[in-house]
Amino acid sequence: MTFSRGFHGRRRDDVDPARVPPGQYVTEDFPVLSAGPTPHAPLESWSFSIRGAVDEERSWGWDELRALPPETVTVDIHCVTKWSKLDTSWTGVSLDTLLDGIDTSAEYALAFSDGGYTTNLPLGDLKDGKAWVAYEYGGEPLDPEHGGPARLLVPHLYFWKSAKWVRGIELRADDEPGFWEGYGYHNYGDPWKEQRYAGD
């Protein structure tokens, strides 16, 4: 392989390696990656629902979601396309708050978004302070191109699981692969085990 003399790229190399999962590069940017056009759902008709293996579907309109107790968290995020961004700040409602009081025997969840995107994960990975419906990034309302008005935030998994423009989660007894999972990406996606593709 020949090298391009003097090329380094926009990577940061001054970070604690313990914070960088295998195969990742740290960036200062916030790349915009998407599978389709940015939806523009009017807030008046926006809702987040929990449905599926529940006795009763639960739904929150925008104002109702914003009325729930928010949390602000600072987390590192890791995209399967190899960039990682450290110390990102988000504000949103914890899935623990949203799932509170919901009785279910479901073990899996399928998150769904405006535009048709889906991603699956074990229900347990949405609980215990591991996931949020985030509506602010860096103290500002979440930009539509980054998933606003609200996106799922599940930082302990590769960022394709943090569904942009999220509109709800479907609780399921069986595991249903989401969009990228169906094309061969790893069903779980732990960056620390470098679970990028099925079979990793």
Binding site for another protein (CB under 8 A): 1-11, 25, 29, 31-38, 80-81, 145, 160, 180, 183-185, 197
The span from the first CA to the last CA of the chain, in angstroms, equals 26
Write down the least CB distance from residue 25 to another protein, Å.
7
**Amino acid code (one letter) for 182:** G
Q: Which is nearer to another protein, 8 or 14 (CB)?
A: 8
Write down the least CB distance from residue 167 to another protein, Å.
18
Q: Which is nearer to another protein, 2 or 105 (CB)?
A: 2
Write down the least CB distance from residue 32 to another protein, Å.
5
Write down the least CB distance from residue 19 to another protein, Å.
18
Q: Which is nearer to another protein, 57 or 145 (CB)?
A: 145
The 8 Å CB, 24+ separation contacts for 74-80 are: 75/153, 75/155, 76/19, 76/155, 77/155, 77/159, 77/162, 78/21, 78/24, 78/155, 78/158, 78/159, 78/191, 79/31, 79/33, 79/158, 79/159, 79/160, 80/158, 80/159, 80/160, 80/185, 80/189, 80/196
Q: Which is nearer to another protein, 132 or 160 (CB)?
A: 160
